[in-house]
Chains A and B, each alone.
Chain A
């Protein structure tokens, strides 16, 4: 597998995983700063171990056992569902219909909830450990899914996707450890928009490959599909802004 093909797996896995790592880091930071670091770090380590087992067992089995065209069809379906969900929400956010994702607000809310629960200084902090474990595991499942999806083209692609996700994790965790505050400077809303379009593009591309469709230039078609998704999304944002004027914000559950 050539370098370009490996980058096709590593780069999107890096960007998509970075968004998930930022969200998990916000929760672990909130726990660590309010309740001490031992329990949340233990919870995080346990979650990472659980995720390694999931990716190791499921990912390797999928990539090595399932025939390639079936795997591409299956992964393409999951990617499309996953990507369209992100893209729809991102478009509604940029159109002002759904509130923008605010990491600072999430952090403040989490800290307030954790403080309200209180803790004994002498006992092991099970609350802190479970909150960190759940946050890391749940966001990590999304990372695992992203890695398996972008690595579906074979073992080399799977390894490239794992490297992309790990690099994102190392950078996000290092930044959070250095700053000791949620990474609000990360343009998460923009990244989610881009990742939604990217996941949807890969979903269309791989499902097409799985059913034997011909893509001109093979993987070179992906940027064209991506550009089409981005253009349609941008037009949708403009259209929705004219349909529901600025300031007419409603909560997501009402849409």
Chain B
């Protein structure tokens, strides 16, 4: 029996849509994309879908910040409350975008940099993509169940406990989705670490890895040991929510444990996310100068030091935390940034003279500016007394916008633009890539600085500027989707892949 692939009734449509030589079902969908074991191709699909989620999450940010700035009233006009939208916005950025974006970009770039012909666990790479997609879909769906997750942030145990048993369906679904995305992230991290350690081309030593690949190895290695902590904590929270338990009730130690050790921003991963961005800067400098960085392996050593200090900080905070608010936590946060600062000095020294200007340099410069802005805000928060900080929640939001999500977006987009030629077979047009980077950089700086300004002044309303910043980011992401979509014509994609390998 011969199976024939489904086609439309019109050969003209087939030719226009699929091209005359491409079998639409078998070749394009099934083998090339859905069940592809090619890490680069999986990464391309992952990146395309992620760009759409980034644009959606940033658009949601515009809606939420606009409502908080008083531009419009969501609660009066929409059946979905502001809290539900805010929860979705935060969860998308923290769980669905930050680490998965690095996994997608690293899946495309790292195998090429290390000369690997395949990834160590191609099916695990597929799981990272499809698990993430299903989890993200469920997370969005959870916001449409009854009134959505009944918490400002579904991962905040204090808020979650206050509503235990009141909205079990929505909160259960959101937590299950977060667990699924976290599992997919773990699968992607294991695949990348194993690929770098076991699939390098003969003669490629770990000590001679390109800075971005080294940064990915360090980050994903740390993610392998820190992500399960978050997963276990979320599992406990899920059980507690589902059965209406007492584990995270006020006055029980699990709540303290959550805040200091498990909660996303309490883990080293929040700073770890910045490390591949620094690796991206080093990579661009090495590529554009054609020379190795000054100090030989100093850059790789400092990248490792930043990861190690973030882990020590995590452990240290637990050891010194004798109360609900550890008094030295903010100093520990500053310690993490020392290796990053030294790394910037190494990169600045390496970039002196003989650098070929290109669009990716704009991205590298944007990353450096964002780190400096984040450092300045951190030092301002650390140096001030608690009474100076009028609205502590903004310090966290401002820093996470700059040092976590801002660096992830800038670093990932810079690497995509830098390597588009080898990944997709052709580079993005310079005006388009410049516009993408400028929009994202502007969005990150405006929203980060606005929220940072809210730290010290009660009179400052940062939400209006936050909405503008998010709108810029949404625009940049949308432009990237359109550019990638133009590469996704079947014939071009196929030839690009063949050329890429």
- Do the two chains belong together in a single complex? no
